[in-house]
Amino acid sequence: MNTRSERKRSLQGDTITLSHGSGGKAMRDLIDDVFVAGFDSAELNTLEDQARFDIAALAAYGDRLAMTTDSYVVDPLFFPGGDIGKLSVTGTINDLAVGGAIPLYLSCGMIIEEGFKVEDLRRIVQSMKQTADAAGVRIVTGDTKVVHKGAADKLFINTAGIGVIPAGIEIGAHRAQPGDVVICNGYIGDHGAAIVDARGELAIENTIQTDCATLSGLIQAMLAVCPDIHCMRDATRGGIATVLNEFAQSSGCAIRIEETRIPIRKEVRGMCEILGLDALYLANEGKVIALVPAAQAQAILAAMRAHPTGKDSVIIGEVVAEPAGRVILTTGFGGDRIVDMLVGEQLPRIC
């Protein structure tokens, strides 16, 4: 078997052409020079059609496999604090982590528009590699397609992830119980606001950066304190309102949250007021909503605040019995309003 160094070639040209998706030498050059060299994982370096894992090694982490997949079409590709590469790795890792899994491996599928700059592709691959390395995850297999100019918008990425759930961890939306405490790990709406700023379409200037961050380390710290966390989801499209509605509807309980407890940056709040948006529905890419037993809530909160991704964690509400399947917000004026599921899309292509 040839080693990566023996296969080393130099990619020609500054932009991606249709020949880079043809299956021939140009495609091999692209894969070797950009993806194999950039991701640099032992499994990917073999250039087989699949990654292979030792079952015994996986079993050492737990007793169940978790698998997820997601596609990323964010516009623009680069935004304050992140890019589509960081977003794709972070989003897939977080989807594994909120189920209690230890994320281990990712795949990467790229659909590239003809004419895309090779320099930008290298930058995105480097971002993916750095984000995966920081989370202890390896990118082990992938696929590349090139489409005609105009058939896609620059670059789309699909990532799938595999993790292992330790024995005794049972997290699910149906497990919410009256008395549970609702915890969020910090300011909401930052990612949606950062994308609005990066698009530059609305003449709104702000300094907000995406909250894009991997949550696996934070969640493992939470589970170390309380393995019996009932519910966890990362609040991406649809924001925390959607996640809380999913919990309420799956469990048949009600969830009450308090407006004055929910952390929202003044810049995000101001942007929402100008544009007529609701921060509860804005996308996040580094926020977890957890429903935890009341007796362990303070210990979990302390563990979260001790972790960099959870330093701004707060309790924002509780689970109650009625009205079943509903999310109720107590406003700053003391009144109540129902928080429904998001209808439509506040901001398209935010992830």
> Residue 221 — very low, low, confident or very high, per pLDDT cuts 50/70/90?
very high
Place of tokens 């700059």: 117
Q: What mean pLDDT comes out for the span 50-75?
A: 96
DSSP string, 61-77: T-SEEEEEEEEE--SSS
Which tens digits make up the pLDDT trace of 116-162? 999 999 999 999 999 999 999 999 999 999 999 999 999 999 999 99
pLDDT at 12 over 90: no
pLDDT at 280 over 80: yes
Instruction: List, in order, residues 6 or more apart from 157 with CB less than 8 Å away.
Output: 71, 72, 84, 85, 88, 108, 109, 110, 111, 124
Tokens of residue 2, six digits: 């040839």
Which tens digits make up the pLDDT trace of 27-36? 999 999 999 9
Query: Checking phi first, is residue 179 left (phi over 0); if not, alpha (psi -120 to 50) or beta?
Result: left
Average pLDDT score over the chain: 94
Residue 203 pLDDT? 67
SS3 of residue 79 by DSSP: strand
pLDDT at 207 over 50: yes
Residue 202 pLDDT? 67
316 half-sphere exposure, CB direction, 13 A CA radius: 29
- Give this prediction's pTM: 0.95
> Residue 343 — very low, low, confident or very high, per pLDDT cuts 50/70/90?
confident
Which tens digits make up the pLDDT trace of 296-322? 999 999 999 999 999 999 999 999 999
Q: What structural domains and CATH numbers belong to the chain? A: 4-165 (3.30.1330.10), 173-338 (3.90.650.10)
Q: What mean pLDDT comes out for the span 331-350?
A: 89
pLDDT at 88 over 60: yes
In the chain, pLDDT over 70 holds for what percent of residues? 95
* Distances in whole angstroms, Cα of residue 317 to Cα of each of 157, 189, 203, 297: 36, 18, 35, 11
Q: What mean pLDDT comes out for the span 42-65?
A: 95
